[in-house]
Amino acid sequence: MTAITRSLPTAGRIGLGLVFTVFGLNGFLGFLPHPPVPAAAGSFLGALAATGYMFPLIKATEIASGVLLLSGRYVPLALTLLAPIIVNIVAFHVALAPAGMGMALAVLAVEIYLAWVHRDAFRSVLTSRSVAEKRAAHAGVEQPAISRA
């Protein structure tokens, strides 16, 4: 394994952490200028802002996840928290503001790469049956049905 291959996950983690820490902080402090957006994109962003809670929630999640990535602690948790945000960033640029597509796709690529690097942490989540269900089936114990009230 070369030095580049060994350091690629760390570089990706730090890069993604910086992106989300900086842009998350910018959501609260406004130190970077906002580029002009098409009318439909502006309406969407205005609707999110009008809720009063959505932008602070998104930006706080970005900051917390970015700091986790920068620290190298709880990286799978940070990737999990960022996944729906990244999906929405990409969808926003596909549907409403194609000009920023390059950065959105780069962030998506790094997220997918880091999820692959940490795939062992996600293995149990990506199984068709939980460990408890498998144990119960092996022991011949029937699982109680979920009641629907």
Tens digits of pLDDT across the chain (149 residues): 788 889 999 999 999 999 999 999 999 999 999 889 999 999 999 999 999 999 999 999 999 999 999 999 999 999 999 999 999 999 999 999 999 999 999 999 999 999 999 999 999 888 888 777 878 877 876 666 665 55
CA atoms within 13 A on the CB side of 136: 9
Tokens of 63: 């900051």
The structure's pTM equals 0.86
How far is Cα 134 from Cα 123, in angstroms, rounded to an integer? Answer: 15
Tokens of 147: 């009641």
Nearest by Cα to 34 from 79, 83, 88, 99: 99
How far is Cα 25 from Cα 102, in angstroms, rounded to an integer? Answer: 21
How far is Cα 92 from Cα 108, in angstroms, rounded to an integer? Answer: 13
For the chain, how many residues are written? 149
Tokens of 54: 């959505």
Q: Which residue bears the tokens 């729906």?
A: 84
- Long-range pairs, 4-13, Cβ under 8 A, ≥24: 8/113, 9/113, 9/114, 9/117, 10/72, 12/110, 12/113, 12/114, 12/117, 13/69, 13/70, 13/72, 13/75, 13/114
Task: Give the pLDDT confidence of 106-133 residue by residue, as tens digits.
Answer: 999 999 999 999 999 999 888 888 777 8
